A = this chain, B = another copy of it.
Amino acid sequence: MKERSVIIIFFILSNAIAQQNLIPFVKPIIGTEKMGHTYPGVTVPFGAVQLSPDTDTLSYEKNGKYNKDIYRYCSGYKYEDKTIVGFSHTHFNGTGHSDLGDFLIMPTQGKLQLNPGVASNTKSGYRSAFSHANEVSEAGYYKVKLDDDDIIAEMTASTRVGMHQYTFNKADESHIILDLISGIYTYDDKNVWTFVRVINDTLVTGYRQTNGWARTRTVYFAMSFSKPFAKYGQEKSSIKNVYKGFWRKFDETNNFPEIAGEKIRMYFDFNTLAGEKLKIKFALSSVSQDNALENMRAEIKDWDFERVKANAQNLWNEELNKINIEASEDTKINFYTALYHTFINPTTYTDINGEYRGLDQNTHVAKSFVNYSTFSLWDTYRSLHPLFNLIQPSRNSDMVSSMLAHYNQSTLHMLPIWSHYSNDNWCMSGYHSVSVIADAIIKNTYRGDPNEALNACVTTANRRNYQGIGDYIDAGFIPSEKSAVSISNTLEYAYDDWCIAQLAKKLNRQDVYDTFMKRSNNWQNNFNPVNQFMQAKMADGSFKADFNPLATHDQGFIEGNSWNYSFFVPHNPMELVEKMGGKDKFAKRLDTLFSMHLPDEFFAETEDITREGIIGGYVHGNEPAHHVPYLYNWTKQPWKTQEQVRKIMNMQYKPTPDGLGGNDDCGQMSAWYIFSALGFYPVAPGSNEYAIGSPSVNKATINLENGKSFTISVKNQRVKNVYIQKMVLNGKPLLRYFINYDEIINGGELIFILGDKPKKNVN
């Protein structure tokens, strides 16, 4: 593809690095079609607000029943849809479970309709038809034309404030709907309580409590309009519901400023001229309405939409410039969109004054760190946090501090498993906080007390009544009778335990090291030497019958079959290679994985991905095998890693709305891409090593927080030149398929010389 010319704007920043304008390469729309579960709206890096269109949430049309279809709407937006319900302020990036979607705003004109209506007939409610032709989705800026009433919707954001700009092309009575019922979740009755105060004719504050994926969750808001509304009100049904027939002394449907109830929909009416712009600032807080207001006033002081947009895009440029690359247009789009997606979750969870709501539902002050929320750790420990540890070490340190704050607030005395908004939902297997913590401390980027951190890891790993940990400690495996995901847990605990051991070693805690190194071998207990697969074990020590390495269900796994999970010993591939019969046999198994056919019946058990999300039997759309393509480095055939990772980059990452073959999972899919595009990957976070792959860029400069930079220079980059011929590190040949953290962090240059033929070994 011929490179299009792009306008490069240079910014001179305080740190004197000339920044490129990378905004043109970020396409937030990538992944919004099919299974990516990304959203096209606006946020700033790690922003607390994610303001984005919801094309549906389906909760509207159901009645308190489990709603399977909502899975498609984890991020609120499906590219395939033809209507927009409104714009809500909180969204996950790429999750496979749903929640959030708070505070839906929708502009309409003409007859007031407070129900969202149905997609098949937008006139039935406040929703509107739209088309992608009239849609602009950039980092920090989103624009769409709402066809029904010919309204241009634009939005941007600061960290804690979303800013809306609605242009009403027709003169009419205009409405802003604030739907406080709308939300994203599997059940439509997650609302627990809603409270709204109309303070004056431009300012509204309130909060909403929900019982969704997060069990006890409250989000506070402050909303300000750029011009006074003429009148406002709420749906009648909500009043009747709250007061249970009691007579109160006001007409609460019209201009009544003290609103509360379980299900509230409000409207604000404005008289607008043709072409008039109405702007809204919408701030969030986890602590209080006061804090939301303080956040608003601190972050967006005026009504200059363009300035707020420019600020948002400057913030993005600052972060995206952490890595400057030279590459083909498509690769640049893939790369910077991936980098954009890695910088969304976890999200800022402290208010501007440092306060945040803890797991204990008390208000805490984050002293000397920013508290972050939304830790999809089963996904992100693999390469998102390792990426942060390289290019966002300060933020990663704060994320570790956030995990330890969670631990200190936990009556269970556990680090987060899958946490968001002051709750843990304990989703997926393992206790992977320990991987992130160990990696940060081992690489000297964590600024807190490492011994306190180690204690938290050990205590978490000894929580006997959580997910078979007691059995795992006692027997070395989890009996299949007791758990549907016995192997996933055992394998992941074993890796996590190795991380704890590495951390203990660093801190000279020999006793802890010994205990956890021993535990880290527990993966061997699920390894069946007869078939050389990971296989579920019964309480009596026998392997479970009816073994099928292609099946996920009833085999002891989650989001992966034995073919994928059998390679899950990231901390000790050498030993695994031995167990599987040596390097040649092991390489052959990898070949089979990447070339086999996964029959439809077993593909159906592989959640969250499209057919394009798999390569042979290798499931890239899910995470358990993300390190597997790099395992050829432990055989005599490292060039097959180079071949596979280039193939995966080509097949699984495309600059199109359907460009992601599986859930982005809070940036893990994207982080895999960033590492792989740079030419190396952290197979075992917690170790010092990155396995070498095959870079897809022509050149990349990693601008490190310590002021140094590490450059990857690629010679002979062509589509077919996926094989490494030679590597030169700081002027000296690199004669191994690994590079160390220190070699990167101290700055320097790694030159890859590529060719179209495998080179058996660079040694």
Q: Looking at the assembled complex, report how far the CB atom of A43 sits from the nearest CB atom of chain B, in whole angstroms.
A: 27
Known A211-B193, A426-B249, A465-B251: A363·B244 in contact at CB below 8 Å: no
Contacts of A363 in B (CB 8 A): 288, 290, 363
Tell me the smallest distance from the CB of A756 to a CB of chain B, in Å.
Answer: 50
CA A11 to CA B288, docked complex, whole Å: 46
A-B contact pairs, 22 of them (CB 8 A): A66-B244, A192-B193, A192-B262, A193-B211, A197-B360, A198-B411, A199-B411, A205-B360, A207-B361, A215-B242, A216-B260, A249-B426, A249-B466, A250-B465, A258-B410, A258-B412, A288-B362, A288-B363, A289-B361, A290-B362, A290-B363, A363-B363
Cβ-based interface call for A245 (8 A): yes
Report chain B residues within 8 Å CB of A187. Answer: 244
The 8 closest A-B pairs by CB, nearest first: A257-B411, A249-B426, A290-B362, A216-B260, A197-B411, A192-B193, A215-B260, A249-B467
Residues of B close to A258: CB separation below 8 A? 410-412
Q: Which residues of B contact A594 (CB under 8 A)?
A: none
Given contacts A195-B216, A288-B362, 9 further A-B contacts (CB under 8 A): A66-B245, A192-B192, A192-B193, A192-B262, A198-B411, A249-B466, A257-B412, A258-B412, A288-B363
Q: Which residues of chain B have C-beta atoms less than 8 A from A113's C-beta?
A: none
Q: Is A688 an interface residue (CB 8 A)?
A: no
Complex interface: chain B residues within 8 A of A290 (CB): 362-363
| Chain B: minimal CB distance from A458 (Å) | 19
A411 to B250, CA, bound (A): 13
> Is A248 an interface residue when CB atoms closer than 8 A count as contact?
yes
Chain copies in the assembled complex: 2
Within the assembled complex, what's the spacing in Å between the Cα atoms of A412 and B199? 8
Give A219-253 as 1s and 0s: 1 = Cβ < 8 Å from B's Cβ atoms: 00000000000000000000000111100111100
Residues in A278-329 with C-beta less than 8 Å from chain B: 288-290
Q: Given that A260-B216, A411-B257 are known contacts, is A250 also in contact with B466, CB under 8 Å in the complex? A: yes
A656 within 8 A of B: no
Contact residues in B for A466 (Cβ distance below 8 Å): 249-250
Tell whether A165 is near chain B: CB-to-CB under 8 Å: no
Of residues 181 through 214 on chain A, the ones whose CB sits less than 8 Å from some CB of chain B are: 187, 192-193, 195, 197-199, 205, 207, 209, 211
CA distance A425 to B361 in the complex (A): 27
Which residues does chain B contribute within 8 Å of A243, judged by CB atoms? 215
Q: Smallest CB–CB gap between A207 and chain B, Å?
A: 7
**Bound-state Cα–Cα, A131 to B216, Å:** 42
A216 close to B244 (CB less than 8 A): no
A426: which B residues are within 8 A, CB to CB? 248-250
CB distance from A208 to the nearest CB of B (A): 12
Q: Which residues of B contact A250 (CB under 8 A)?
A: 426, 465-466
* Complex contacts, A242 vs chain B, CB 8 Å: 211, 215
Q: In the complex, what residues of B have CB within 8 A of residue A467's CB?
A: 249
- Which chain B residues lie closer than 8 Å to A288 at the CB level? 362-363
Query: For residue A215, which residues in chain B have a CB less than 8 angstroms away from its CB?
Result: 242-243, 260
* Partner among B216, B360, B412, B465 whose Cβ is within 8 Å of the Cβ of A193: B216
Q: Which residues of A pack against B, CB within 8 Å?
A: 66, 187, 192-193, 195, 197-199, 205, 207, 209, 211, 215-216, 242-245, 248-251, 257-258, 260, 262, 288-290, 360-363, 410-412, 425-426, 465-467
Interface of A is mostly: loop
Shortest CB-to-CB span from A108 to chain B, Å, is 25
What distance in Å separates the Cβ of A67 from its nearest Cβ neighbour in chain B?
11
Minimum C-beta distance from A623 to chain B (A) = 19
Residue among A209, A242, A258, A467 with the highest chain B CB neighbour number at 10 A: A258
**Within the complex, what minimum Cβ distance (angstroms) separates A526 from chain B?**
20
> When chains A and B are docked, how far (Å) is the Cα of A573 from the Cα of B75?
70
User: Which residue of chain B has its CB nearest to the CB of A65?
Assistant: B244
- Name A288's closest neighbour in chain B (CB-CB): B362
Question: In whole angstroms, how far apart are the Cα atoms of A290 and B243 in the complex?
Answer: 31
Distance of A269 from chain B, by nearest CB (Å) = 18
Rounded to whole Å, the gap between the CB of A36 and the closest CB of chain B is 25
Residue numbers in B under 8 Å from A412 (CB-CB)? 257-258
Measured in the bound complex, the distance between the Cα atoms of B262 and A243 in whole Å is 18
Smallest beta-carbon distance A111→chain B, Å: 26
A359 and chain B: residue at smallest CB distance: B258
Q: Which residues of B contact A192 (CB under 8 A)?
A: 192-193, 262
In the complex, what residues of B have CB within 8 A of residue A205's CB? Answer: 360
Cα-based distance from A731 to B361 in the complex (angstroms): 65
What chain B residues lie within 8 Å of A361 (beta carbons)? 195, 197, 207, 289
> Which chain B positions have C-beta within 8 A of A207?
361
What is the minimal beta-carbon distance from A307 to any residue of chain B, in angstroms? 30
Distance in angstroms between the alpha carbons of A215 and B252 in the assembled complex? 14
A258's nearest neighbour on chain B, judged by CB, is B411
A289 closest partner in B (C-beta): B362
Which B-chain residue is minimally distant from A207 (CB atoms)? B361
User: Roughly how many angstroms separate A561 CA and B322 CA in the complex, as a whole number?
Assistant: 80
Give complex CA distance A248, B249 in Å.
44
Shortest distance between the CB of A489 and any CB in chain B (Å) = 10
Most chain B CB inside 10 Å of its own CB: which residue of A193, A211, A411 = A411
- Residues of B near A360 (CB, < 8 A) are 197, 205, 289
Report how far A425 CA is from B410 CA in the complex, Å: 37
Rounded to whole angstroms, the CA-CA distance of A207 and B245 in the bound complex is 27
Q: Which residues of B contact A211 (CB under 8 A)?
A: 193, 242, 260
**Smallest CB-CB separation from A413: which chain B residue?**
B257
Q: Which residue of B lies closest to A241 (CB)?
A: B211
Q: Which residues of B lie under 8 Å from residue A362 when comparing CB positions?
A: 288-290
Whole-angstrom CA separation of A364 from B258 in the bound complex: 18
Question: Nearest-CB distance from A95 to chain B (Å)?
Answer: 15
Chain B min CB distance to A754 (Å): 47
**In the bound complex, CA of A259 to CA of B748 (Å):** 53
Residues from chain B with Cβ under 8 Å of A198 in the complex: 411
Report the minimum CB–CB distance from A266 to chain B (whole Å). 14
Nearest CB of chain B from residue A468's CB, rounded to whole Å: 10
The docked-state distance in angstroms from the alpha carbon of A241 to that of B316 is 43
A108 CA / B466 CA spacing, docked (Å): 31
Q: Roughly how many angstroms separate A192 CA and B257 CA in the complex, as a whole number?
A: 22
Pair A193/B193 contact, Cβ less than 8 Å? yes
Distance of A245 Cα from B207 Cα, bound (Å): 27
- A669 CB to nearest B CB, Å: 25
Taken together as a complex, chains A and B put the C-alpha atoms of A208 and B290 apart, in Å, by: 22
Q: Which residue of B lies closest to A249 (CB)?
A: B426
Q: How far is the CA of A249 from the CA of B248 in the complex (A)?
A: 44
Minimal beta-carbon separation of A59 from chain B (angstroms): 13
**Bound-complex Cα distance A361 to B215 (A):** 21
Shortest A353–chain B CB gap in Å is 13
Q: Would you give the shortest CB distance from A580 to chain B, in whole angstroms?
A: 32
Contacts of A410 in B (CB 8 A): 258
How many Å from the CB of A62 to the closest CB on chain B?
A: 13
Chain B positions within 8 Å of A289 at CB level = 360-362
Closest to A290 in B: B362
